[in-house]
């Protein structure tokens, strides 16, 4: 007879409850352990493992079958992997690698990110992996932090919106998800002191609610099944045992209904470095009580929970409720009905590869152009310079290779078409098509350990090639040696002799196009001032070569915009645009006191000082006060202006969605698109708050010579603040909508509008 929980007519929560009721205490406890296949001791009783990560290919197929057959109640194991930008840790599976999350952030394209999620889920499911440890919805803050490339950028609204799109793409119908998504790492992980990974995150609950929790709100609304807790502590309490964070904020305030997984080895840090009083077994129990149901890669989980129930320390109902959340996910995934996974060797298709090319093209940002791009038809000889032009491993990006595992990288390079993915291969193919001669000189790159002599010889060879060329394309940046988990930097200049390389190339007098193959923004004032064009290519995935070739030759236009502010100097970090002002306006420290020409008079103020930015650092040039390239900045080949913008009404009632209309004109000869951005400023409120925040955006297509009119909505949540009592509220009063093409305040048009508590009679 079929067990009652195998009745597919019942909803997943009811089936989970029936199964949980039939389970023994050790079996319930086993559902709360996610083991690491790399360290999984074979021979353990199968009921001791509900979840397994880092297992792939033939091993996964075998373990899936064996563990299920040996489980008393035939409960399947759920397999997990970090697939942050495609099924990327899949060196032997032939999957599609998309640009890194930060690069995807630069697309500002919700549909595109959803599509990346959809492809990723499809390829994961085909390989038997149904739980993704992503997306990362941390917001970028101090750029020295090694994990900036894993974020969608610095703005909570952008990060939350794109995070939600990724979740929707990964999960599909949340009632029957293709894979489970995980929003991580709740929260504040990216704002640690000094940008040092897992150091203290000295954040107030105000900052958490205002900046770090909103992306989780988006994720919960998108139906995310799982959330990962961070390694760090909040207000002295590690996230993994932080009831206020996991129960009060995540479940009660945001309405999360899935399960929380700890980060790997997380409870162990409670006793080790965080030096709390207690044993690892106690923190396993406290984690579950606090709302962290699953422990990842922790030993002793089953023993600790069984002992806690036997001694009366833990109520079995708490254990059962936690296990039921995991079982519910397994039922929703259809794991109990699914056939055992089979090993596969190729999940990438021409269509998914094309999606990777399109994503890469949409993510690249034209930061500067002094006429060097697009390459002109009369360009006949190109010098291509830099080791990063021909480095598939770095191009693929962060969660591609098993934690800098060289064997995995070599496996990737064995894919039959791998040689065609690189910038070098694609630019060579394009040069051949257009009848150009391309000479490639590796010269030097970010990899440490190359002798000074070899690098100097490389630079000399690059200079010789440049002297013979019409244009020089230098691909420079960092590498996995300089970023990633536990790899924070003190300096954000180009590693190695790459700066010297650029200066030597500049001295040839040939037009210099700098392509930044960087995992995150660097401080590059020389590049900004001296290059004839600057393109940020990020870590662009397999489609990056083709995308870059299309963009440099002008066969596609740039639509990417930077989702993160670029610093001019590492000492000014954090330099995010949405700062909270204190005292002193910009001119106070000797900088230009730029007034904004179109700033409206504010009748509620004694002084009509337009709040621009905080005081600059006295030892940096005044015009670096906003960093080098502002959040939202990016150029294109089309000539599109904002000719008019107006609010559809001057006043709105609390809860309304304020609307505005914009008109764009393309005065150039080329069709194109522009990213219209709307920021909101609360003119006067009961507490301090960010000067302005992104509230809406739209990519608008405008044909050559044409005008386009569009309407944009300001979501009512964009008007909210955290009041002195910690509540999320909208305070009626005067607001400004700031409209333009980047966050740089001096380029924004100001549209005042009012929010009333109720309709005027």
User: Rule CB under 6 A: which residues touch ligand BGC?
Assistant: 82, 133, 184, 263-264, 485
Helix (H) or strand (E) segment spanning residue 110: helix 110-126
Q: Name the minimum Å distance from CB 399 to ligand BGC.
A: 8
Q: Name the minimum Å distance from CB 82 to ligand BGC.
A: 5
Q: Name the minimum Å distance from CB 217 to ligand BGC.
A: 20
Q: Name the minimum Å distance from CB 54 to ligand BGC.
A: 7
Encode 439-475: b = buried (16+ Cβ within 10 Å), e = exposed: bbbbbbbbbeeeeeeebbebbebbbebbeebbbbbbb
Compare residues 264 and 425 and give the one whose CB is closer to ligand BGC: 264
Compare residues 264 and 267 and give the one whose CB is closer to ligand BGC: 264
Whole-angstrom CA distances from 393 to 102, 109, 325, 396, 417 are 17, 26, 38, 5, 14
Q: Name the minimum Å distance from CB 397 to ligand BGC.
A: 15
| Residue facing ligand BGC at closest CB distance | 133
Q: Is 606 exposed, middle or buried (0-12, 13-18, 19+ CB in 10 A)?
A: exposed
C-alpha of 366 from chain center: 20
The sign of the CA dihedral 487, 488, 492, 497 is negative
Helix (H) or strand (E) segment spanning residue 440: strand 437-441
φ/ψ (deg, to 5) at 389:
-70, -20
Q: Name the minimum Å distance from CB 52 to ligand BGC.
A: 12
Compare residues 133 and 283 and give the one whose CB is closer to ligand BGC: 133
Q: Name the minimum Å distance from CB 342 to ligand BGC.
A: 25
Q: Name the minimum Å distance from CB 684 to ligand BGC.
A: 41
Peptide bond into 324 cis (omega under 30): no
φ/ψ (deg, to 5) at 679:
-110, 155
Encode 54-72: b = buried (16+ Cβ within 10 Å), e = exposed: bbbbeebbebbeebbeebe
Compare residues 485 and 613 and give the one whose CB is closer to ligand BGC: 485
Compare residues 137 and 325 and give the one whose CB is closer to ligand BGC: 137
Q: Name the minimum Å distance from CB 184 to ligand BGC.
A: 6
Q: Name the minimum Å distance from CB 198 to ligand BGC.
A: 9
Q: Name the minimum Å distance from CB 261 to ligand BGC.
A: 9
How far apart CA 99 and CA 283 sit, in angstroms, is: 37
The answer to whether 109 touches 538, Cβ cutoff 8 Å, is: no
Compare residues 215 and 560 and give the one whose CB is closer to ligand BGC: 215
Compare residues 108 and 133 and give the one whose CB is closer to ligand BGC: 133
Compare residues 82 and 91 and give the one whose CB is closer to ligand BGC: 82
DSSP 557-582: ------SSPBPSSGGG----S-PBP-
Compare residues 184 and 489 and give the one whose CB is closer to ligand BGC: 184
Compare residues 329 and 475 and give the one whose CB is closer to ligand BGC: 329
Q: Name the minimum Å distance from CB 79 to ligand BGC.
A: 13
Compare residues 326 and 426 and give the one whose CB is closer to ligand BGC: 326
Compare residues 17 and 280 and give the one whose CB is closer to ligand BGC: 280
Q: Name the minimum Å distance from CB 81 to ligand BGC.
A: 8
Look at the chain and count its residues: 761
Unique residue bearing structure tokens 């609304």: 221
Using a CB cutoff of 8 Å and minimum separation of 24, what contacts does 446-454 make? 446/387, 446/388, 446/476, 446/477, 446/478, 446/479, 446/481, 446/482, 446/494, 446/495, 446/496, 446/498, 447/387, 447/479, 447/481, 447/496, 448/481, 448/495, 448/496, 450/496, 452/497
Residue 351: partners with Cβ closer than 8 Å, 6 or more residues away: none
Bridge partners of residue 698, in order along the sequence: 676
How far apart CA 346 and CA 221 sit, in angstroms, is: 34
Q: Name the minimum Å distance from CB 121 to ligand BGC.
A: 17
Compare residues 93 and 365 and give the one whose CB is closer to ligand BGC: 93
Compare residues 133 and 652 and give the one whose CB is closer to ligand BGC: 133
Report strand pairing: 233-234 vs 728-729. Answer: unpaired
How far apart CA 54 and CA 60 sit, in angstroms, is: 9
Whole-angstrom CA distances from 647 to 19, 498, 511, 604, 701 are 56, 48, 44, 21, 21
Whole-angstrom CA distances from 314 to 19, 29, 286, 642 are 20, 12, 9, 62
């Amino acid at each position: 007879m079929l067990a009652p929980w195998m009745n597919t007519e019942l909803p997943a929560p009811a089936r989970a409850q029936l199964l949980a009721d039939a389970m023994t205490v050790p079996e319930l406890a086993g559902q709360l352990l996610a083991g690491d296949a790399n360290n999984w001791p074979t021979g353990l009783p199968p009921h001791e493992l509900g979840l397994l990560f880092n297992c792939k290919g033939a091993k996964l197929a075998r373990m899936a079958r064996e563990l299920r057959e040996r489980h008393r109640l035939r409960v399947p194991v759920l397999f997990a992997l970090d697939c942050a930008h495609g099924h990327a840790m899949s060196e032997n599976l032939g999957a599609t690698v998309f640009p890194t999350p930060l690069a995807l952030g630069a697309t500002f394209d919700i549909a595109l990110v959803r599509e990346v999620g959809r492809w990723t889920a499809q390829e994961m499911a085909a390989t038997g992996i149904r739980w993704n440890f992503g997306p990362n919805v941390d917001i970028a803050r101090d750029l020295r932090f090694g994990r900036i490339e894993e974020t969608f950028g610095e703005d909570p609204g952008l990060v939350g919106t794109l995070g939600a799109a990724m979740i929707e793409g990964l999960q599909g119908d949340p009632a029957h998800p293709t894979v489970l998504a995980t929003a991580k790492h709740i929260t504040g992980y990216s704002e640690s002191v000094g940008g040092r990974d897992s150091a203290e995150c000295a954040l107030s609950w105000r900052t958490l609610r205002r900046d770090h929790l909103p992306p989780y709100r988006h994720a919960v609304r998108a139906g995310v099944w799982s959330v990962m807790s961070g390694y760090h502590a909040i207000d002295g309490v590690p996230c993994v045992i932080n009831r206020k964070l996991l129960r009060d904020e995540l479940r009660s305030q945001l309405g999360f209904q899935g399960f929380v997984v700890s980060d790997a080895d997380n409870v162990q840090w409670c006793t080790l470095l965080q030096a709390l009083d207690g044993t690892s077994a106690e923190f396993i129990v406290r984690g579950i009580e606090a709302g962290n149901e699953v422990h990842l890669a922790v030993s002793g989980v089953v023993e600790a929970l069984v002992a806690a129930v036997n001694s009366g320390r833990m109520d079995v109902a708490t254990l059962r409720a936690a296990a039921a959340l995991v079982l519910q996910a397994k039922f929703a995934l259809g794991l109990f009905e699914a056939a055992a996974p089979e090993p596969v060797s190729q999940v990438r298709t021409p269509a998914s590869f094309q999606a990777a090319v399109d994503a890469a093209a949409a993510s690249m940002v034209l930061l500067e152009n002094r006429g060097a791009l697009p390459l002109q038809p009369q360009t006949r000889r190109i010098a291509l310079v830099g080791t990063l032009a021909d480095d598939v491993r770095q191009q693929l990006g962060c969660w591609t290779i098993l934690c800098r595992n060289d064997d995995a990288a070599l496996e990737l390079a064995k894919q039959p078409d791998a040689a065609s993915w690189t910038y070098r291969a694609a630019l060579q193919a394009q040069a051949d098509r257009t009848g150009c001669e391309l000479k490639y000189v590796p010269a030097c790159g970010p990899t440490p350990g190359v002798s000074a002599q070899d690098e100097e010889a490389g630079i000399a060879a690059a200079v010789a090639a440049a002297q013979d060329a019409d244009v020089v394309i230098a691909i420079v940046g960092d590498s996995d040696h300089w970023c990633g988990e536990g790899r924070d930097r003190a300096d954000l200049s180009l590693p190695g002799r790459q700066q010297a390389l650029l200066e030597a190339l500049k001295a040839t007098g040939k037009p210099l196009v700098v392509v930044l193959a960087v995992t995150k923004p660097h401080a590059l004032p020389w590049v900004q001032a001296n290059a004839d064009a600057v393109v940020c290519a990020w870590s662009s995935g397999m489609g990056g070569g083709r995308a870059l070739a299309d963009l440099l030759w002008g066969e596609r236009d740039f639509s990417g915009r930077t989702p993160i502010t670029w610093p001019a100097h590492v000492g000014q970090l954090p330099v995010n645009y949405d700062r909270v002002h204190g005292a002193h306006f910009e001119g106070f420290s000797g900088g230009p006191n730029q007034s904004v020409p179109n700033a409206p008079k504010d009748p509620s103020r004694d002084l009509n000082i337009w709040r621009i930015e905080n005081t600059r650092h006295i030892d940096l040039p005044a015009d670096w006060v906003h960093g080098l390239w502002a959040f939202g900045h990016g150029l294109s080949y089309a000539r599109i202006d904002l000719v008019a913008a107006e609010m559809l009404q001057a006043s709105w009632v609390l809860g309304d969605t304020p609307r505005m209309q914009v008109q764009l004109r393309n005065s150039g000869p080329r069709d194109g698109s522009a990213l219209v951005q709307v920021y909101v400023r609360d003119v006067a409120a009961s507490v301090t708050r960010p000067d302005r925040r992104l509230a809406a955006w739209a990519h608008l297509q405008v044909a050559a010579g044409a005008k386009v009119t569009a309407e944009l909505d300001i979501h009512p949540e964009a008007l909210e603040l955290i009041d002195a009592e910690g509540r999320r509220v909208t305070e009626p009063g005067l607001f400004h909508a700031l409209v333009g093409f980047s966050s740089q305040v001096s380029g924004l048009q100001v549209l005042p509008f009012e929010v009333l508590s109720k309709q005027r009679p």
